[in-house]
Amino acid sequence: MAGKTLYDKLWDAHLVRQNDDGSALIYIDRHLLHEVTSPQAFEGLRIADRQPWRLANNLATPDHNVPTTVKERALGIEGIADPVSKTQVQTLDANCEEFGILEFKMGDERQGIVHVVGPEQGATLPGMTVVCGDSHTSTHGAFGALAHGIGTSEVEHVLATQCLVAKKMKSMLIRIDGTLSAGVTAKDLVLYVIGQIGTAGGTGYAVEFAGEAIRGLSMEGRMTICNMAIEAGARAGMVAVDETTINYVKGRPFAPTAEQWDAAVAEWRTLHSDADAEFDRVVVLNAADIEPQVTWGTSPEMVVDVNGKAPNPAQEQDGIKRMAIERALRYMGLEADQRIQDITLDRVFIGSCTNSRIEDLREAAAVVKGKKVAASLKQAMVVPGSGLVKAQAEAEGLDKIFVEAGLEWREPGCSMCLAMNADKLGAGEHCASTSNRNFEGRQGFGGRTHLVSPAMAAAAAIAGHFVDVREWMN
Amino acid sequence: MKAFTIHSGIVAPLDRANVDTDMIIPKQFLKSIKRTGFGKNLFDELRYLDEGQPDQDCSTRPLNKEFVLNQPRYAGASVLLARENFGCGSSREHAPWALDDYGFRAVLAPSFADIFFNNCFKNGLLPIVLAADDIDELFRAVESTPGYQLTVDLEKKVVRKPDGVELAFDVDQFRRHCLLNGLDEIGLSLQHAEAITSYEEKRKQQAPWLFV
């Protein structure tokens, strides 16, 4: 019999009950909540007169709607200008108080983007099942956890039962052999993978990322990769546990201590696919082929090397794909065969659950240090992923580097990744963004998003257009 | 939950692949703390020419006449015909809520994104996967036949065309059972409360750090 995959091990350890029809009841160790997808779930509990099954497994923080300027944030909830946004944040506070759920509220230094906060607190641990009403929950799989996004009905289900009704997914191994070249980051790697397998390439699969290139990444880099598994269609992405994982978790507030730490580490060391495990699909890519990536279109799979150009629809044989290319070029205001480096930018956004951790900010700061943002740019902003990331960055003097270069230094939140708060693109504006989705209107009505790594966004901010960041490195 | 047994209705064709949930219901409408009222903002950026705002009266907004749902021949449509990877992107359950609130009861496509697919079943909306060739043929039939209707029969697991030809589809047995009877999944899971408790006790021995 073949050995087990990491996904098999995680699934088996959380199986409460197998139903006859192939579905199962799976136990959830960590449930993260934010203000957008939880209000209707709490309302459902109230209507049915149900209580949360196990309070300690839940952790909440507002992120999507919070403003990010220092001035607005100084006023707390009152600083949220949009009354509808304010209601949502107030509703989360009220629900957490009513049901007794731990929440890092606005004004708490631990508040931030839910997918930054969980790992930072050690609330995400190896071997856990982690869910949240947010598709980017796949982020937490970087810890050798089974983590994926759920809908609001499932948020209510997890609150009421601490379980999820699930069907086992197929398994896919994406192995990246070799090492990334200097200036090529985790973000470039995952954009390249999506370009190769497509935005639906991972649909129905739990994806394990492995290989030398993945082993060489920090936890921040691995989180970036797993974060965007969903952009390849895979609800869950994961990476096996190794010393990098264990060292990251050690000493975090929610991490086990003393004897429990030793017992936990012993179990965590088993969280890898067995050598003879079989996957339903295996994709092998070579890290040496990966260059800095830039998306040109309105889907993350519409991505090319920074030295490349937008496609020419005339060269596409498939009718539906040709239409999609034409539509994307029109929306993005690009010509067929236009060089990526000739795209003039209006704004630069460094942040989001994909790239707002300390390492991302260090990477961006190293590029802009001692330089100035291009005068042609309307705005360049850096939004740390949590209050603690912000404090750490300030302790390292990164905020000063950004501000001296002409970038705005903001308060933590989802910010311009999805324009649910005051940070938005104007119609027709091009933005170099370290976020995860370049869909039409995602960053603002008519806005044009180009997804890139923090280093590439930083270099674009200085140049006013895309440049190959490798040419700027010594 | 609303039960789904058999439904007949006008088919609206949405001829583009990778329709994401931002497109189905743009983010500014996610700020509601209710489950209803999203129908008027379904496909907002495709449907209207201006930028939509929450709580706005949509009856006076400029319509994109080209968009399928604004064409009189598709008025009252309740079956959506779509392309590959429908519902990709964000996990927002507002997407099925908006489709349901607009009046759609079923979506037919060659493939769906996973989270959206799951969310549909929890809201009485039936996502149906059909072969790409069958979908192609339905697009042609819908476009050439004003008032084209389909019948979706969940009991028999078939989509019935006007000429009586039936296209069989697969659906998970448990989900079908819940939809046919309008059953609340939480209530069903809570019938297994003992199994959950005994799992917790066992797991606590193995991994006590998860239960502090």
Cβ-based contacts of B187 with chain A (< 8 Å) = 48
Give me the sheet containing A430-433, strands edge to edge.
A408-409, A379-382, A347-350, A430-433, A448-451
Note whether B142 and B200 are same-domain residues: no
How many CB pairs below 8 A link A and B? 191
CA distance B16 to chain A (A): 7
- List chain B residues with CB under 8 Å of A445: 26, 45, 51
- Asked, for residue B48, whether it belongs to a domain, the answer is yes
Are B192 and B175 found together in one domain?
no
- What lies within 8 Å, CB to CB, of A471 at 6+ separation is none
Let me know whether B198 and B124 are in one domain.
Answer: no
Q: Same structural domain for residues B143 and B159?
A: yes
Question: What is the domain extent for residue B30?
Answer: 6-181
Please report whether residue B46 resides in a domain: yes
The answer to whether A439 contacts B89, with C-beta atoms less than 8 Å apart, is yes
Same-domain status, B199 and B123:
no
**Claim to verify: residue B126 and residue B193 sit in the same structural domain:** no
pLDDT per residue as tens digits for the range A270-289: 999 999 999 999 999 999 99
Confidence (pLDDT) at B183: 87
User: B1 CB contacts (<8 Å, ≥6 apart)?
Assistant: B122, B123, B124, B178, B179, B182, B183, B184
Do B119 and B165 sit in the same domain of this protein? yes
Residue B54: closest CA among chain A residues belongs to which residue? A84
- The rounded Cα A354 to chain-centroid distance in angstroms is 3
Which chain B residues are closer than 8 Å to A40 by Cβ? Answer: 33-35, 93
Tokens for A454, please give them. 């923090």
- B167 & B196 share domain: no
Q: What is the pLDDT of residues B125-169, one digit of tens each?
A: 999 999 999 999 999 999 999 999 999 999 999 999 999 999 999
- Which residue, A234, A184, A217, A193, is CA-closest to A7? A234
| Interchain pair B196, A53: CB under 8 A | yes
Tokens read off for B69: 């749902």
The CATH code of the domain that includes B153 is: 3.20.19.10
Question: Among partner residues B33, B111, B206, which is closest to A200 by beta-carbon distance?
Answer: B111
Whole-number pLDDT of residue A474 = 62
Output the DSSP codes for A358-398.
HHHHHHHHHHHTT----TT-SEEEE--SBHHHHHHHHHTTH
Residue B177: which of B188, B190, B191 has the closest Cα? B188
Give the best residue of B186, B200, B202 to mutate against chain A (max A CB count within 10 A). Answer: B186
Flag if A149 and B115 touch (Cβ within 8 Å).
Answer: yes
Q: Is A431 annotated as a binding residue?
A: no
Whether residue B1 lies inside any domain: the answer is: no
Distance CA A67, CA A81 (A): 8
- Report whether A417 belongs to an annotated binding site: yes
User: What does the pLDDT read at residue A459?
Assistant: 98
Contact A260 B209 (CB under 8 A): yes
CATH fit for domain A1-291, picks 3.40.50.2020, 1.10.10.60, 3.30.499.10, 3.40.228.10: 3.30.499.10
Strands (DSSP E) contained in A81-201 are 102-103, 129-132, 146-149, 163-167, 170-177
Question: Domain tally for chain B?
Answer: 2
Integer Cα distance of A341 and A466 in angstroms: 5
Whether the Cβ atoms of residue B179 and residue B121 lie closer than 8 Å to each other: yes
Q: Which residues pair with residue B109 across a beta bridge?
A: B129
Instruction: State yes or no: A226 annotated in a binding site.
Output: no
Which of B84, B175, B176, B189 to mutate against chain A (most A CBs within 10 Å)? B189
Exposure string over A74-112, b if 16+ CB within 10 A, otherwise e: eeeeebbebebbbbbbebbbebbeebebebbbbeeebbb
Q: Write the CA distances from A471 to A184, A405, A466, integer angstroms.
A: 12, 19, 12
CA distance B38 to B55: 10
CA B99, B101, B104, B106 torsion-angle sign:
positive
The verdict on residue B86 lying in a domain is yes
Phi, psi of A72 (to 5 degrees): -65, -40
Report CA torsion sign: A134, A137, A138, A139: positive
Contact (Cβ atoms closer than 8 angstroms) between residue A223 and residue A194: no
Residue B193 and residue B136 in one domain: no
Residues of B in contact with A65 (CB under 8 A): 31
- Alpha-carbon distance of A41 to A158, in angstroms, equals 10
Alpha carbons A436 and A405: distance in angstroms, whole number = 25
Closest CA to A352 of A295, A292, A423, A439: A423
Positive or negative torsion for Cα A258, A259, A260, A264: positive
Which is it for the CA torsion B78, B80, B86, B88, positive or negative?
negative
Those residues of chain A that have pLDDT short of 50 are none
Q: Count how many Cα atoms sit within 13 Å of the Cα of residue A118 in the half-sphere of its side chain.
A: 33
Half-sphere exposure of B68 (CA within 13 A, CB side): 19
Burial of B160 (C-beta count, 10 Å sphere; 0-12/13-18/19+): middle
Which fold is adopted by the domain A293-472?
Answer: Aconitase; domain 3 (3.30.499)
Separation CA A351–CA A359 (nearest Å): 12
SS (H, E, C) B88-146: ECCCCCHHHHHHHHHCCCEEEECCECHHHHHHHHCCCCEEEECCHHHHHHHHHHHHHCC
Kindly report, as residue ranges, where domains of CATH 3.30.499.10 are found in chain A.
1-291, 293-472
Inter-chain touch A134–B119, beta carbons under 8 Å: no
A436-462 pLDDT, tens digit per residue, is: 999 999 999 999 999 999 999 999 999
Chain position carrying tokens 């409460």: A16
Residue of chain B minimizing CA distance to A18: B195
Q: Which residues of A touch B118 (CB under 8 A)?
A: 150-151, 154
Residue from A427, A425, A426 nearest A435 by CA? A425
- B156 shares its domain with B197: no
User: Does some domain include residue B111?
Assistant: yes
Could you tell me the two tokens for A393?
């960055």
Contact B28 A419 (CB under 8 A): yes
Kindly list the residues from chain B whose CB atom is less than 8 angstroms away from the CB atom of residue A56.
Answer: 211-212
> One digit per residue, pLDDT tens: chain B, 212 residues?
788 999 999 999 999 999 999 999 998 898 888 888 999 999 999 999 999 998 899 999 999 999 999 999 999 999 999 999 999 999 899 999 999 999 999 999 999 999 999 999 999 999 999 999 999 999 999 999 999 999 999 999 999 999 999 999 999 998 999 999 988 889 899 999 999 999 999 999 999 999 98
Work out the mean pLDDT of chain B and round it to a whole number: 95
